[in-house]
Amino acid sequence: MESVAVVLLAVFSAGYLVLAGADIGVGMLLPWLGRDQRERRLVIASFAPFFLGNEVWLVASAGLVAGAFPGLEHLLLEELYPLVVVLLIGWVVRDMGLWLRGRVDAVAWRGLCDAAIAAGSWALALAWGSVLGSVVFGGGLNAGSVLGLPLAAVFAWHGAGFARWRLPVELAARAGRVPARYGVSGAVLAVLPVAAGLRLPWSEVVTVGGGLAVTAVTTVAVLPFLLGSQALVWWTFRGRVDSPSYL
């Protein structure tokens, strides 16, 4: 059952990085892809239908860690506390920018929120890159922590590939200047949590008793619904965006 839980965690974490990595990457490129308020609204609209659903994969990963591998939660928070703080701050700042952007009809306010979206997205990408690099290099703040910058570039590369597919042709042309392919960058991001997982002491962090089986079975039962809802959203919004969203 431990192996099943490890595989499920790999699936959920890879799903988060591939799916949410796209909206993080687009957020990083927001000032470049959108040159004025109208264009930036279209850029945000390109990932607006997806970003909340994408974050569900992270919530599911966190629930699986808490239920099946509580020692891992303690290990990561203890050894990588500064990076986790940066990650959480970036997440909050990015989402605040997205949710509050349309609440005030003022150029200065929208500009401030756009800056929050871009800065928060960069913080998320750098923090995730540093966390994964640190784990791959043995845990704790180490030489792998400096991988935050090159891995953040992978997020931006992934976002450019997503933008080429979703943005109107004239804006997608800007993203097209980056030789990005969504499938290729997605494969790179999917490999990262697997590489990190190979370095973790699973037998030392796994829960004891029946909690492992309950968590694994519950997660297996939830997975088809998550996949189905994600597929429905992607099918519904599969075309290029042609108008601003609710954000």
CB 27 within 8 A of CB 162: no
Assigned domain for 53 exists: yes
Within-domain flag for 74: yes
Give yes or no for residue 180 having a pLDDT over 80.
no
Identify whether 150 is part of a domain.
yes
Tokens encoding 31: 């000032």
| 115: in domain | yes
What pLDDT, in 10s, does the model give residues 86-102?
999 999 999 999 999 98
pLDDT in tens, 56-88: 999 999 999 989 999 988 888 888 999 999 999
Mean pLDDT of 16-39: 95
Residue 214 belongs to some domain of the structure: yes
Confidence at residue 39, expressed as pLDDT on a 0 to 100 scale:
94
Q: Rounded to the nearest 5 degrees, what angle is found at the Cα of 236, between the Cα atoms of 234 and 239?
A: 80
Q: Is 139 inside any structural domain? A: yes
What is the predicted pLDDT for the residue at 77? 84
Q: Encode pLDDT of 113-158 as tens digits.
A: 999 999 999 999 999 999 999 999 987 888 889 989 999 999 999 9
Q: Is 188 exposed, middle or buried (0-12, 13-18, 19+ CB in 10 A)?
A: middle
**C-alpha distances out from residue 11 to 17, 89, 157, 184, 240, Å:** 10, 25, 22, 17, 28
Residue/partner pairs of 8-11 with CB below 8 Å, 24 or more apart: 8/64, 8/216, 8/219, 8/220, 8/223, 9/61, 9/64, 9/65, 9/68, 9/69, 9/197, 10/193, 10/194, 10/197, 11/223
Looking at residue 121, its pLDDT comes to 98
| Domain that residue 28 falls in | 2-236
Token code pair at residue 29:
């490129």
Q: Does residue 246 fall inside a structural domain? A: no
The whole-chain average pLDDT of the chain stands at 92
* Cα Rg, the chain, nearest whole Å: 18
What pLDDT is attached to residue 2?
85
The average pLDDT across 228-247 equals 89
Instruction: Please give the Cα distance from 97 to 168 (Å, whole number).
Output: 23
Domain presence at residue 32 = yes
Is the overall model pTM greater than 0.75, yes or no? yes
What is residue 6's predicted lDDT score, i.e. its pLDDT?
Answer: 93
**Total tally of structural domains belonging to the chain:** 1
- pLDDT at position 1, please? 76
Look at 104 and 126; give whichever has higher pLDDT.
Answer: 126
Q: Provide the pLDDT for residue 141.
A: 85
